[in-house]
A and B are shown apart, each in its own frame.
Chain A
Amino acid sequence: MVTFDEGSKEDVVAALGLVESEETLKDSEGLFITNQNFEGVELKNFGGVLMGSKVFINNDSIELVKFFSSHLE
């Protein structure tokens, strides 16, 4: 697990290959990234990416709840 603070968020987002377009983040192929509800993720709300895969989340605990719920085997 790598964590980041608010001050480093833009650098982390850039390292993930994401760019901001009209507030919403896009990946290197120009596609909008979405959270688990298939909603666009904005830079100001960006909370990270989980499971090393490309499950993006907003900085909102309910998104972690949804993530753990969906992975409860």
Chain B
Amino acid sequence: MVGFSEILSKVPGISFNIGTKVTNIHITNSGVLVNGKDQGSIARQAILDNINSGKDDDSYPCDILHEDLLGDYKSLEEIINKEKDLLKILKKVLPENRFEMILMARRVHFAIEKNEGSQKIIALVSKLDGDFPRDGKKVLNLFSADYFNSTIFPLIESFKEHDPDSYVEKSNDLFESILRFFPIAIFVNNNTSVGKISEELRKRLGLKKIPFIKIHAIGLDNISKVETALLDLKDIRFSIEDNRFTTSRGIAAQMVKIKFNYN
């Protein structure tokens, strides 16, 4: 923002070196914080005048954003920068509104990963649920269980490799079928009862052509519920693989894989 540096250096009454790198400008009701320091009302007006200079042009001098959106902006920018290649794969195969749902869910998952605070996370989950009431939380669960990396991306790559002419359609069908029935995953949260886990298991065990079912649980209470539900599943038709680990936030977690013994 060299332009703002020049402008501020000319404001009477403040000491601002033209060579100072301006990394952050925040306009408040009475002043303007430049790199965290309040430079007062005259500097504030100088910044507003500079913004005003762009009103009749094709562009303004910079992005201008409400402070409420700054966290989301920075997070989305970081997500895009770090995961651009993978996101482009999804954008190529999915309709725009489905991709936007995924990006919004990734933003929520990013807030959880970065431990942005429970209030912020609750607000983001509520926003996701409000904007995408049918599938938003399911997609968040897919991120929590690392399903995009472990299942969805490899399958899309496989479709592309084996059938490049119809891989977009197949990838679309895959994504929609995962969301429609969630055939291979059960996510256990604080509101999931033992009975509900058993019920979801029974539904899936009655299906054909499902290679496995995965149950994901985070937290000792949820793990205990899964253990109880699994007591009923002593059957030679299935093999149970119980994986325990600790999340990046130090919470006990479990991923149970129930494989069908078809032989």
List the interface of chain A (C-beta within 8 A of B). Answer: 1-9, 11-12, 14-17, 27-28, 46-54, 57, 59, 61-62, 64-66, 68-69, 72
The verdict on A8 contacting B51 (CB below 8 Å), with A47-B69, A61-B72, A65-B100 known, is no
Contact bitstring B166-184, A, C-beta under 8 A = 1, else 0: 0000000000000000000
**Interface contact B29-A52, CB-CB below 8 Å:** no
The number of A-B residue pairs with CB atoms under 8 Å apart is: 136
In the complex, what residues of A have CB within 8 A of residue B72's CB? 61, 64
Residue contacts A-B, CB under 8 angstroms, 14 given: A2-B27, A2-B64, A4-B64, A5-B26, A15-B49, A15-B55, A49-B60, A59-B68, A62-B131, A64-B72, A64-B73, A64-B76, A65-B103, A65-B104
Interface residue? B28 (CB, 8 A): yes
Q: What residues on A are CB-neighbors of B14 within 8 Å?
A: none
Asked if B96 is at the interface (CB within 8 A of a chain A CB), the reply is: yes
A5-B29, A48-B65 known; 14 other A-B pairs, CB under 8 Å?
A1-B62, A2-B27, A2-B63, A3-B25, A3-B64, A14-B48, A15-B49, A16-B55, A54-B58, A54-B60, A57-B69, A65-B103, A68-B103, A72-B91
Minimal beta-carbon separation of B65 from chain A (angstroms): 4
Q: How far in angstroms is the closest Cβ of chain B from A51?
A: 6
Interface set of B (CB-CB < 8 Å, partner A): 24-29, 47-49, 51-52, 54-56, 58-70, 72-73, 76-77, 80, 84, 87-88, 91, 96, 99-100, 103-104, 107, 124, 127, 131
Interchain CB contact (< 8 A) of A72 among B67, B69, B80: B80
| A52 B67 Cβ-Cβ under 8 A | no
Chain B residues closer than 8 Å to A51, beta-carbon distance: 59, 63
Chain A's interface: helix, strand, loop or mixed, by majority? mixed
Instruction: Return the chain A residue nearest B74 by Cβ.
Output: A1
Bound-state Cα–Cα, A2 to B7, Å: 14
A41 CB to nearest B CB, Å: 12
Per the bound structure, the CA–CA distance linking A61 and B63 in Å amounts to 16
Min CB–CB distance B60 → chain A (angstroms): 5
Instruction: Give A67 to B99 CA distance when docked, in angstroms.
Output: 12
Would A5 and B103 count as touching, CB distance under 8 A?
A: no
Determine if A72 and B88 form an interchain contact, defined as CB atoms under 8 angstroms apart: yes
Contacts of A57 in B (CB 8 A): 69
> How far is the CB of A13 from the nearest CB of chain B, in Å?
10
A69-B56 contact given A2-B63, A52-B63, CB 8 Å threshold: no
Among the interface residues B25, B70, B73, which one has the most CB atoms of the partner chain A within 10 A? Answer: B73
The answer to whether A59 and B73 touch (CB under 8 A), given A2-B47, A69-B103, A72-B80, is: no
Bound complex: CA of A1 vs CA of B61, how far in Å? 9
Which of B29, B52, B73, B91 contacts A15 (CB under 8 A)? B52
